[in-house]
Amino acid sequence: MPKKSLATTIARIGLGLIFLVLGLNYFLPMFAMPPEPPPAASFFGALAATRYMLPLIMGTELIGGAILLSGRMVPFALTILAPVIVNIIGFHLFLAPAGIAPGIVVAVLELFLAWQYRGAFAPLFGGRER
């Protein structure tokens, strides 16, 4: 468990709010998302056509954000949000580079929090099992 520093709390709440609001916006639209360039729109169209990927991704964002805001099981929330963040970065690098700034912000917050909670992740990098 990390020291409960102000920076850690702000990063946890900030990241939690971002994912809670964006995940919730999918299920209960509160604001319109900006239009995407054609390749990005095609990608989102393909995800929507599966009828399960967007609800799965946005549900993961919503749940991960809520867990972060609760302050309980933070390493679990960081773990389930990590692949979402990797895909946010990849999406913007390859399909919509102009909108990468928010992705970088969430990636930095995620990495900062993962470092603060590094003790919880230490067993993953501890060496081989016997």
Q: Give the model confidence (pLDDT) of 65-75 as tens digits.
A: 999 999 999 99
- Does some domain include residue 51? yes
Residue 57: give the domain boundaries.
6-28+39-118
Retrieve residue 112's tokens. 């900062």
Number of structural domains (the chain) is 1
Confidence tier at 34 by pLDDT (50, 70, 90)? confident
Three-class secondary structure of residue 81 per DSSP: helix
Name residue, tokens 């909670």: 117
Confidence tier at 3 by pLDDT (50, 70, 90)? low
- Does some domain include residue 34? no
Phi-psi bin for 45: left (phi > 0), alpha (psi -120 to 50), beta? alpha
- Compute the radius of gyration of the chain from its Cα atoms: 16
- Does some domain include residue 1? no
Does the pLDDT at position 128 exceed 80? no
- Does some domain include residue 130? no
- Does some domain include residue 129? no
- Does some domain include residue 12? yes
